[in-house]
Amino acid sequence: MAAKAPAEELDVDGTAVRLTSPDRVLFPALGADGGTKRHLVDYHLAVASASADGAVDGLGPLVRALRDRPTYLQRFPDGVDGEEVYQKRVPERAPDYLRRVRVTFPSGRHADALRVDAAAPVLWAVQMSAITFHPWPTRADHVELPDELRVDLDPQPGTGFDEARRVALDVLHPLLDELGLAGYPKTSGGRGVHVYVRIEPRWEIREVRRAAIALAREVERRAPDLVTTAWWKEQRTSAIFVDYNQNARDHTIASAYSVRRTPRATVSTPVTWAELEDVQPDDCTIAEVPGLLARRGDPMAALDDVHHSLEPLLEMADRDEARGEGELPYPPNHPKMPGEPKRVQPSRDRDRRGDG
C-alpha cells in the first residue's frame, strides 16, 4: 500500500492554506493521473489566484465570479461518487482569513455564509473537498438586492446541450439585444447553458424573480415547440426549461469556473456568444480551462462594466399580468406566496381533473 502523502502548506497570494491528503482521488474516472485533490488545487490556483490568466485588479476569474457574494459549497469528502455535503454555513472553528455574510432563508432563519474576497478562501474550500461554488446573485453590501439576473436553460428529457445552445443563440440572445441588455453565456458544466445579466441593485429578490419570469415567458412565446416555463416536470418533456426560480431567494447555480460533479471534472465555463456556436461542454475540464484562459482571457471580464435597469422586463411583467399571466410556483422550500398558484402536480389536481 502506497504511503499517504504528507500535509503541506500552500502560499496562496501571501496567505498560508493547509493542504492535507493531496493524493486523494476525488474523480475516480480520472484516477491518480488527473483526478486527485492536488489536481483540483492546481486548477483553482490557475483560475483564482492574483497571478491567474485573466486576472483583473489582482482577482482571478473565479474570485471575481464569487467576490463578496454569499457562497454555498457543494462538497464531496469521499469523491464525486460518494455522498454530497451541501454546506451553507462557515464553521465556527475556521481560519481567521475567512469572512462571512449573513443571509436569510425563506423560512426567516439566518446563516453566516462564506464571503469570498480573495483566492485563499477558495483554496480553503477545496481543502474541504468543495467541488462546486454556489454564489447568491447578491453581494454583502446589498444582500437583499440582486445585481445579477440569471437565465438557466435546463434541458429536459429528450433534449440536450445542442437544443439549449440553439435557444440561447437563436432566441435569448436576440431578445436581450432588443431589450438593450448585455448577456454573458457560460456552459453549465453539464447539458445546460447559463446566461448572466448584470443589473442595478435596486430591486428586491422577489421583483428580480418577477422580471426573470417575464423574460422566460417571452422566450417561450418565441420558441413554443422547444421552450417551456412549466414548473412541474410532467409538463416539460422534450423541451428546454427556463428555470426562473434560479432567481428565487436561497436558490443558486454553479458559478463561472466552478467544477462540476461529472466523471471528466467538467467546468462551468464562460464563453463568448461566437464560441457558444461550437463549444462542447465535455471539452471544458479542469485540465483544459486554464489553457483556454491563457489563450483568450476571461469572456466575463467586462461583466461588471455596465449595470442594467430591470424596468424593460418589469414592464413586460406588467403586460403579462394585465393579460392574466400572473405568478408561477415557487420552490417547495418557500412559504406560500401571494398570488401563487396551487403547488400540486397537474395530474394530482382534483380541480383540474374535475373530480368531485
Does the pLDDT of residue 94 top 60, yes or no? yes
Q: Calculate mean pLDDT across residues 265-282.
A: 98
Residue 189 · residue 254 · CB < 8 Å: yes
Which ranges of 110-250 would DSSP assign to H, the alpha helix? Answer: 119-127, 161-167, 173-179, 205-222
Cell numbers describing residue 338 = 401571494
Question: Which of 137, 173, 145 has its CA nearest to residue 275?
Answer: 173
Question: Which of 199, 299, 317 has its CA nearest to residue 257?
Answer: 299
Does the pLDDT of residue 344 top 80, yes or no? no
pLDDT digit string, tens, across residues 180-213: 999 999 999 999 999 999 999 999 999 999 999 9
Determine the residue type at 260. Answer: R
CB atoms closer than 10 angstroms to residue 86: 10
Provide the pLDDT for residue 274: 98
Question: Which of 164, 180, 178, 181 has its CA nearest to residue 277?
Answer: 164
Provide the pLDDT for residue 352: 53
Which domains, from first to last, does the chain contain?
A: 9-143 (3.90.920.10), 148-251+306-323 (3.30.70.3300)
Helix (H) / strand (E) element for 277: namely none
Helix (H, G, I), strand (E, B) or coil at 191: coil
Helix (H) / strand (E) element for 40: namely helix 37-48
Residue 144 · residue 204 · CB < 8 Å: yes
Does the pLDDT of residue 355 top 60, yes or no? no
Provide the pLDDT for residue 356: 43
Residue 136 · residue 69 · CB < 8 Å: yes
> What mean pLDDT, rounded, does the chain reach?
94
Q: How far is 333 from 330, CA to CA, in rounded Å?
A: 8
Provide the pLDDT for residue 342: 78
Residue 138: which residues within 8 A CB-CB, separation 6 or more? 69, 70, 144, 145, 146, 147, 148, 201, 205
Residue 316 · residue 183 · CB < 8 Å: no
Q: In degrees rounded to 5, what are phi and psi of residue 63?
A: -65, -40
DSSP code for 267? B
Provide the pLDDT for residue 263: 97
b/e per residue, 323-337, with b = 16+ CB within 10 A?
Answer: eeeeebbbeeebeee
DSSP code for 262? S
Q: Calculate mean pLDDT across residues 99-122.
A: 97
pLDDT digit string, tens, across residues 202-242: 999 999 999 999 999 999 999 999 999 998 888 888 899 99
Residue 193's alpha-carbon distances to 100, 138, 186, 187, 249, in angstroms, are: 30, 21, 6, 5, 21
What angle do the packed helices 37-48 and 119-127 form, to 10 degrees?
170
> Which of 72-81, 236-245, 344-353 ranks highest by mean pLDDT?
72-81
Helix (H, G, I), strand (E, B) or coil at 139: strand
- Beta-bridged to residue 88, according to DSSP, are none
